[in-house]
Amino acid sequence: MLKRTAIACALLASLSACKQTSQVVTPTSSLQPVSDFRTYSAETFFDTTSISGSAFSPDAKKILVNSDESGIFNLYEIDVGTGVKTQLTKSPDSTYALKYFPKDNRLLFTRDNNGNERFHVFVRHEDGKVHDLTPGKDVRAKFVGFSNDEDAFYILSNKRDQRFMDLYLFDAKTYESELIYKNDKNLSVERVSETDRYIALVNAQGNKDSDLFLLDLNSPEAKPVEVSNVPYEANFSSSAFSKDDKYLYYSTDAHGEFYQNWRYNIATGEHTPYVVQDWDIRFLYFSDADRYRVVGVNEDSSIKVTVTDLKKQKDIKLPKLPAGSIKGVNFSDDEKLMSFYLNSDTSPSNLYVWQVGSDSVKQLTSTLSEKINPAHLVESTIARFKSFDGLEVPGVLYKPKQAKPTNKVPAMIYVHGGPGGQSKTGYSARVQHLVNQGYAIFAVNNRGSSGYGKTFFHLDDKKHGEDDLQDIVWSKKYLQELDWVDPERIGIMGGSYGGYMTAAALAFEPEEFKLGINVFGVTNWVRTLESIPPWWEAYKKSLYEELGDPAIDGERLRRISPLFHAKNITKPLMVVQGANDPRVLQVESDELVDAVRSNNVPVEYVLFEDEGHGFSKKENRIEASQAYLDFLKKHL
């Protein structure tokens, strides 16, 4: 297994390079454990199993999942009656479940190559043999779904042109494929209707405007008909078709701050509101027979899922469950069984199966390490603070068990990915490991984060490294007011966009944070935007509208790129990078590390040769988390 190829601490000068304030700083080692409290290693936290997927086999006796219990995500079948798991694949590359074939126990799955994001679609036969349905070095493919008669299935592929995802129909027996929709207008195919007649398409005009279209495949000469129906900028995307193709359900922010779900009558062209909340409708879908509707609402950093029995027009009531949020809801073909996951801050996702309407529910997995006492884990709270301009900014706050006014703890501000991502509640081994070791974590949803309305989302457009960074600075001020946080020991960390914000904080506000951990972070926006993967072509306009076009906004992009201001970085820096990252190229991290080391500043560089833009292998997650902890112990 490929491991870390470079990790070094460049203490090229004396520790005076790490400037200290005049206030006495309490060392980390002074943290006193509470009664009966234990700390656990990174290995123990990642002994926890990550699991996802909840597709039933045709006979409803098994559920297909992907699990990393072996260290790498592979496919498993879980017996619904006994909970016994059977491993189906043993790939060195992370493998993710799609679904069973409707009429037999063949199954579909997807995987890329060491994180390069060129995912292929594979079929696994009942004898265990695997066949790549979408071969090709530069091919990227995505499964869409089975046809109405279940004798074929749809796959999106860019094999014709790397920039465009075309729609193909594959024969379920021979695997011969037919081009159904040639994507020469760069419209994104979102879904195929239940009767195979229509496809829903989206044209991204920018990050504030996307148009929804409907194409009738029964009319060869037909052109896509626009469904989005407002004369101003708004975002539209499809959610589902009704079983009879009478309706197209879609999500839009055209009618308020939050995404609502509307229903479009395909025959009459009538639009009516369908599900409306005071938060974003994150997703909506139906069981195969349209008996049940599943809706997810993004409510203040948590996803709240509701399952409605449409026959009774009533939300179903689940049997008594442990505390947590459900997700990944799926139904058996006969709709008598429902599978779902239950997740909370202190419990990773576990798979359950429920006989719909009964009083009993069965837990099929136990994913938390047996060595961890859940009472030693920390539940988050939602905290809010006023930023530099009076804007209220939310975040997810974790208070270590050790923290109290007489035992102030160090803190890390954590910035999510994106731009436009969101930190949510729920289990994170990485976060719980650091909190367990005595570090407060404040996962800030700075302006530009999703989930808090479109006005809030667009407040950082072409202001990255400026107004959003000031939110992070003011989040530090908020932490400094808490009587259990050491005001002089606050650092910053994050991945992707959060990694950029980390490097930006050290470069543009060099005296604010004691250190930074940049994980897969952008350091040179000009190069990143010029080298975006070809399959992002459909969303290039959206990226440019939010961040800037390097051909036009090059001067501003250089101004906000930490690489060009690395001489300002004076605080310890850790950089983590995947060698196969197609989004943030390794050269960005290489150059930042070299530049900061020339400042005689402590720098640690962790390079994973077998990862891309994120972690797919458990041993690498362990190594990275231990590296974070070692770095914090040394410098915070």
* The Cα angle at residue 495 between residues 552 and 119, in degrees rounded to 5: 85
Q: What is the predicted pLDDT for the residue at 287?
A: 95
Q: What is the identity of the amino acid at 15?
A: L
394: how many CB neighbours lie within 10 A of its CB?
21
Tell whether the torsion through CA atoms of 15, 20, 24 and 25 is positive or negative: negative
pLDDT of residue 534: 83
Chunked mean pLDDT (size 10), the chain, 636 residues? 33 29 30 69 95 96 96 96 95 95 96 92 97 96 97 97 95 97 90 97 92 94 92 97 97 98 98 98 94 97 96 93 94 96 97 93 96 97 98 98 97 95 96 98 98 97 95 98 98 97 98 97 94 81 89 95 97 96 93 97 96 92 97 97
Report DSSP letters for 57-108, one per residue: PTTSSEEEEEE-TTSB-EEEEEETTT--EEE----SS-EEEEEE-TTSS-EE
Cα–Cα distance measured from residue 114 to residue 97, given in angstroms and rounded to the nearest whole number: 17
Task: Tell me the C-alpha distance between 220 and 516, whole Å.
Answer: 56
Report the number of secondary-structure helices (H) and strands (E) in the chain. Answer: 10, 36
- The predicted structure's pLDDT at residue 35: 59
Longest Cα–Cα distance of the chain, Å, equals 76
Question: The whole model's pTM is what?
Answer: 0.91
Helix residue ranges, H only, 127-249 = none
498/507 Cα distance (integer angstroms): 14
DSSP for 597-634, please give it: HTTT--EEEEEETT-BSB--BHHHHHHHHHHHHHHHHH
Helices (H), 485-585: 497-508, 525-530, 540-547, 554-559
How many residues in the chain? Answer: 636
Tokens of 65: 């999942």
Computed from CA positions of residues 358, 364, 367, 368, in that sequence, does the dihedral angle turn out positive or negative? positive
Angle between helix 618-635 and 429-436 (nearest 10): 30
What confidence score (pLDDT) does residue 360 get? 84
Contact 134, 120 (CB under 8 A): yes
CA distance 236 to 202: 8
